[in-house]
Each structure stands twice: as structure tokens, then as C-alpha cells.
Structure 1
Amino acid sequence: MALLFKFELAIMTVETYDRLVVMLEETGAGSPPGRLYHVTYGPKDRLKVVDVWDSPPDLGPGQFQEFAETLVPTLKELGVVLQEPDVYRVHSIIKPQRTATRVARRLLVKFDPPGMNVGQSNEIAKSLDEAGLGAPAERLYHVCYCDGDELRMISVWESEEALRAFFDQLARTAVDREMTEIARTEPVIEEVHHIIDGSQ
């Protein structure tokens, strides 16, 4: 089982975040065990974070709590207040097998359609697979997580053209299957500042 953590970090600027990364590396906590993926995104003066953590069902947040024992004092030293994260159970993760690439721009996409359930998500995924868009090379990471009974998606892309093609096909699929609210939902796209892939 995995858990997704969403953080809002007060006064977390790019400069502060970059310093945090260095400080965590210096303490040996830069790539903590159990963290599968980390992405920082959003406006440069107020960055946000999504972390995906491996978490055995009997341990709850587990390894994240161990990491927080180093993270919280380091953030305080930098004058950053860590708000309580929103924590969600992960439904599925898709990560292509690929070698690392260097690109100038990466994008995080949040897709929060009201009412999307597991059955609808599976139908859409099957249609995207049939259209050859189920695992696009330009998508670095995709996680589908549960918010109550509804599913949400977060993905990281190297190409805006590819992500637009993916979500256009997703919308067409939803229209064809009379999933009106899903078809009407626009993905929210934000700039990525930093990625740490702990699943490699």
C-alpha cells in the first residue's frame, strides 16, 4: 500500500526549498527510505509538495513519520511552517520504464473530477490504453489516489503537447461513456521545480 501526502508550505520559496534540499542531504535524509516519489511545484514564492510513500497497512504513515523527525526541525531552522499534510490512500501508480532525461521544463497536472469512481477510472484507462495513450513516454509519473469514495489523479509530464493529447482523449472517452462531470473537468497544470524519484 502507498500513501500520498500533499503539503502547503508557508513562505516556501525556490531559494528556501533549494537550501532545504542541501540541508537534508547533509543529514543523510535527502532520499529517505520508503519515499517513492517527491515533486515540488507551483509559484516560485509559494511552492507546494506531493510525496508518495510506501506504507505497510499496519504502520499507518510509518516511514514518513521517521523522516518528519528530521524534516520539521530543519524547516523551523529555515523559518518555514509545515502545515499538517492532507494524506490519501493511493489507488494506482504508473511509472514508465525509461532512462533519465534532461529537459528544460516539466509540468505537474492535477485532475480532480467530481464523482469519478474506480469503475469509471478503469473504463477510461482501458480506452486510453486502446488509443495508445495509456503509458506515454513523456509522462514521468502518474498516481491515482482516493479522496473519500472519489478518485483523483496527479501526474508529472515532460511535454505539454503530450499531456494535452492525453487529457483530450480522456475527455472524449468520458463524453462517449456519458461521464459528464469528468468530461467537463479541466486539468490544472503547474510548473515543476524539483523531482526526487525514490523508486529507481
Structure 2
Amino acid sequence: MALLFKFELSTHSVDSYDHLLLMLEEAGASSPPGRLYHVAYGPKDRLKIVDVWDSPPTMGPGQFQEFAEALLPALKDVGIVLQEPDVHDVHTIIQSKRTATRGPRRFLVKFDPPGMTAGQCDEIANSLDEAGLGAPAERLYHVCYREDDELRTISVWEGEEALRAYFDQLALIAVDLGLTEVARTEPVIEEVYHIIDGSP
């Protein structure tokens, strides 16, 4: 089972984040084995991070430790304090067959309907698949994870129009399924600053 890590960077400068990426690249640690996806998003003076990692049992020995040995000194050099992340078990991952481009603006979408269960999440996904909407080309990455016994989703999109159309359809499907709380929930949309796709 994969793990999702969420945290906010303790820096007020996007330049610090850019410099950190450069240092990790120079150390050969910009795409560490076991990290499936990395996205930085939100206001540039308060970037937030979502990382999706293979779970420890499926990672090779020492993979995360090797990454930490490159990351910690680089963080110190650029003045970023590593905060304790929120860690959550991943329920499902859906990835586009293509990777992000530099074309349209990219967005991270958080969708947190209250009380959503694994069964409801799967039911909605199946209905979207049946309607031909389960894998929109503009959705680069989608992860459903467990937080406080509820399921939540985070997805990364290219283009705001496509993601809004998708969530309009999702709301209609939720109404048809009798999931009124899901249908009423508005997604939270934030602009993406940087993506690293480490999926196999």
C-alpha cells in the first residue's frame, strides 16, 4: 500500500524551493526510487507539498534513507525547516498515460466529501468509468487516500475547464447514486507550481 505525505514548506521564498530542487538534482536525488509523485502547489510565498511513496515493504532497502541523506543537508543549506508531514494510507491511484507538459496551467484539486467510504468512492469511480469519464486526458494524476476513517482525493489537472466539467459530472452521478453529501461538496482548486512524476 502506498503512502501519501502532505506538508507545508517553512519558507517564504519560491527561490528556496527551486534551489533545493537544483541541489537534489546535482546530488542525483531529484527522483528518488520509491517516490511515485511529487507536487508543489499553492501560493508561491507558502508552497505546500504532496508526495506519494511506495510503502516501506515494497521499497528497496535503504531507498528512503538514501534520499533523506541527500535531502536533509540540502534543506539546511537553503534554510527550509522540515516540518512533520501528515501521512495517510492510499486507497487507489489513477495515472494518465501521458505526463505533464508546459502548456496549460496545472491545478491540484482537493475533494473532501464528509463521510465518504471506500465503497462509495469505488461506486462513483465505476459509474464514471461506465460513462466514459473515468480517465480524462487532462487529469494527470489522481490519488484516493484515507484520512480519519474517511476517503479523500487529490488530483492534478491540466486546464481548469476540463476539471470543472469533470466535477460537474461527478456531482450528477453522486445525485443519481443518492450520495447527496458527495454531490454538495465543492472541490478546492489550487495552482500547481512544480511536478515530479516518478511513477514506473
Provide Cα deviations, 1:53-100, integer angstroms capped at 9, x if missing partner: 1124488xx743442232122112111111100111111110122365
3-state DSSP class of the match of 2:43? coil
Q: Distance in 1 between matches of 2:6 and 2:138?
A: 23
Please name the residue that 1:152 is paired with.
Answer: 152
Q: Distance in 2 between matches of 1:185 and 1:7?
A: 23
Which residue identity does 1:143 align to in structure 2?
V
**CA 116–63 in structure 1, closer or farther in 2 if over 3 Å, else same:** farther
8 Å contact kept, 1:116–1:150 = yes
Q: CA RMSD in A?
A: 1.7
**CA 89–164 in structure 1, closer or farther in 2 if over 3 Å, else same:** same
Q: Greater shift after overlay, 175-184 or 87-96?
A: 175-184
Please name the residue that 1:141 is paired with.
Answer: 141
Provide Cα deviations, 1:21-41, integer angstroms capped at 9, x if missing partner: 001111111111111111110
Q: In structure 1, list runs of 5 or more residues that go unmatched.
A: none
Please name the residue that 1:175 is paired with.
Answer: 175
Please name the residue that 1:76 is paired with.
Answer: 76
**CA 65–174 in structure 1, closer or farther in 2 if over 3 Å, else same:** farther
Q: Distance in 1 between matches of 2:199 and 2:33?
A: 10
Q: Distance in 1 between matches of 2:133 and 2:67?
A: 36
Q: TM (normalized to structure 1)?
A: 0.92
3-state DSSP class of the match of 1:84? coil
Q: Distance in 1 between matches of 2:13 and 2:182?
A: 33
Q: Percent identity?
A: 75
Q: In structure 2, list runs of 5 or more residues that go unmatched.
A: none
Provide Cα deviations, 1:38-58, integer angstroms capped at 9, x if missing partner: 111000111011011112448
Corresponding position: 1:92 with 2:82 = no
8 Å contact kept, 1:53–1:64 = no
Corresponding position: 1:13 with 2:13 = yes
Please name the residue that 1:126 is paired with.
Answer: 126
Q: Distance in 1 between matches of 2:45 and 2:35?
A: 25
Q: Distance in 1 between matches of 2:79 and 2:102?
A: 32
Q: Distance in 2 between matches of 1:46 and 1:128?
A: 34
Size of the aligned set, in residue pairs, is: 198
8 Å contact kept, 1:91–1:144 = yes
Which residue identity does 1:145 align to in structure 2?
Y
Corresponding position: 1:187 with 2:187 = yes
Q: Distance in 1 between matches of 2:3 and 2:195?
A: 17
Q: TM (normalized to structure 2)?
A: 0.92
Q: Distance in 2 between matches of 1:58 and 1:26?
A: 26
8 Å contact kept, 2:39–2:192 = yes
3-state DSSP class of the match of 1:173? helix
